[in-house]
Structure 1
């Protein structure tokens, strides 16, 4: 029973039995996985790690039981123990990937309202990275503890752990800061995967969020790689913090003769015929009137930032042609007035027009502007926006007659 042939036979038998057992379990799980996401992910990701782990464990156990004393036995056993630890660490990392895939399969990000899905996706991926990092660190520590000399100096290492901890913290201050910043960003819901942000005057989306870095995919397919501490120490714009629908503007500097109401009606017609508009906001206002030009701002809305960009460009292109072809007198101009010998100007004898006078000729309330001329009011959405910027309601003054 102690012959080398018997030892080799038992070792090979244990190894083949482990491989056969894993293969049977794999086929059963794969068959059941047709109706279960969990079992299907286990079949895809945990098969190879489990196969290696069980094979190495069977080999190590057989060598310990039947190997007897031979030259280099301690070295072989030590290597097999390290292999067992590494194989089971690989299996734990694979199980973490299985948990991630199962969790992500329950949420969908290909729907318009996907805020919760992107939040869960970000947190699950970061937790998996933290878990894998912890498994690697613990595995390395367990491997070191299998050496007798390392265990012998463990007490002295623990005694000086405070000093080494301080030195390590100072040396890795930047790295640890990035790690804690990544955890803060993920679980404070300040940043999620696929969020549309403006960072360093660059517009893009969050493509990858790790413990130490954030990768921003800029609109022209460049990648902006930044440390996570940037997003916890400096302000940035998040266009999808509470929703993907956003507002955008298109501004025009025109002459004072521009027919604002006609331009407003033209904007409404354009948006109603466009599939880019989400139907929420269509407002045209004169936001500035200084010098020889007036500034007209068209405020529009879309379901997401890319659609809004195309919609703003569409509005600009349409009004470039509309003003050029139908309202050429509204193009920006520089006026020069020539008076007579007495320095009198022609416009001084022109009677002022009352076409745009909002004051009625008879007593009564002032005229209200159209809905398309109001950002805060005129519609349920405008009233809601106005309520967001109103202060707290004033407390009613106490009735002195009752006191």
Structure 2
């Protein structure tokens, strides 16, 4: 009698457990077969994009495919599974699916970035065009990642009834709450818009020689919120990205990668100018281009 009760109690859960285990195994098998075929294709491809995708997209797509198949399997047995168990399982799988989508999308963005930057080497003499592309791609990559995370998290939150009601309440009182949120997010949105403006207009680029706050240095890093300037004595000057939109500064390599500087020689009045000129010519002739 006790065994029958236990069997009857456990039996409804077996549908859900079977869907999870079966979906997991089927997902791994499908992904393994698919990825083996893709690996053979990428090895014969001359495009760097497919090779990078083969390196960086294996784990994210495996988790993504497994999550999708488990989610579909749970939906199929939803009516035969206890409601609480089915709902909790679906929400957990939905969360795993969300994380998989975010990671897969971010990895894809990094692959696209590396593919583009592969054609633009910065370690060359005339690297102006390369620095333009590096700056634009890196800033746009950061912006894209932020938007992907916001959209994915927002979409997942709206799948809950509580958050949908909260969203409706916020829209109903959009006036006051909008002002509060707008004031609180003013700096964040300002920096984000400044980052987009810098990516398009490019008043600064990576490795540009600049003078800011009476300091000479090179642009080392550009993020969505701040810019790092490497000072000549290896100190780092960190400035908000809006600084380069709102305040004047000097950019010595805005048009060309060549730098024109001034050298002062403090000499005695009796020094031969011709010998100094000849020494300068010797130094220039022996210098590496």
Higher Cα Rg: structure 1 or 2? Answer: 1
Residue 188 of structure 1: CA displacement?
0.7
Q: How does 1:101-250 map to 2 (within 5 A)?
A: 101-250=114-263
| Residue 61 (structure 2) pairs with residue 50 (structure 1) | yes
| Residue 22 (structure 2) pairs with residue 13 (structure 1) | yes
| Residue 276 (structure 2) pairs with residue 267 (structure 1) | no
Which has the larger strand fraction? 1
Change (3 A) 1:206 1:27: farther
Q: In the TM superposition, what whole-angstrom CA distance separates every residue of 1:226-278 from its partner, at most 9, and x where no partner exists?
A: 11122122222222212222222222344444443443334333433x215x5
> Any idea what SS the aligned residue of 1:248 has?
coil
Which has the larger helix fraction? 2
| Residue 81 (structure 2) pairs with residue 69 (structure 1) | yes
**C-alpha distance in 2 between matches for 1:50 and 1:270:** 58
TM-score for both structures, normalised by structure 1: 0.63
Gaps in structure 1 of 5+ consecutive residues: 279-403
Residue 153 of structure 1: CA displacement?
4.0
Residue 134 of structure 1: CA displacement?
0.6
**C-alpha distance in 1 between matches for 2:248 and 2:212:** 9
Gaps in structure 2 of 5+ consecutive residues: 1-10
TM-score for both structures, normalised by structure 2: 0.85
Residue 10 of structure 1: CA displacement?
4.3
Change (3 A) 1:96 1:63: same
**C-alpha distance in 2 between matches for 1:181 and 1:6:** 53
Q: In the TM superposition, what whole-angstrom CA distance separates every residue of 1:60-90 from its partner, at most 9, and x where no partner exists?
A: 2222212523243322222222322232122
Q: How many residues align?
A: 275
Q: In the TM superposition, what whole-angstrom CA distance separates every residue of 1:195-226 from its partner, at most 9, and x where no partner exists?
A: 12222232222111011100112233322211
> Any idea what SS the aligned residue of 1:250 has?
coil
Higher RCO (Cα < 8 Å, 6 or more apart): 2
Change (3 A) 1:251 1:11: closer
Among 18, 22, 32, which residue is 2:31 paired with?
A: 22
Change (3 A) 1:252 1:133: same
**C-alpha distance in 2 between matches for 1:80 and 1:258:** 82
Residue 172 of structure 1: CA displacement?
2.4
**C-alpha distance in 1 between matches for 2:16 and 2:81:** 11
Runs of 4+ in 1 over 6 A off after TM superposition: none
2:8 match: none
> Any idea what SS the aligned residue of 1:246 has?
coil
> Any idea what SS the aligned residue of 2:219 has?
strand
Change (3 A) 1:72 1:246: same
Instruction: Output the aligned Cα RMSD.
Output: 2.3
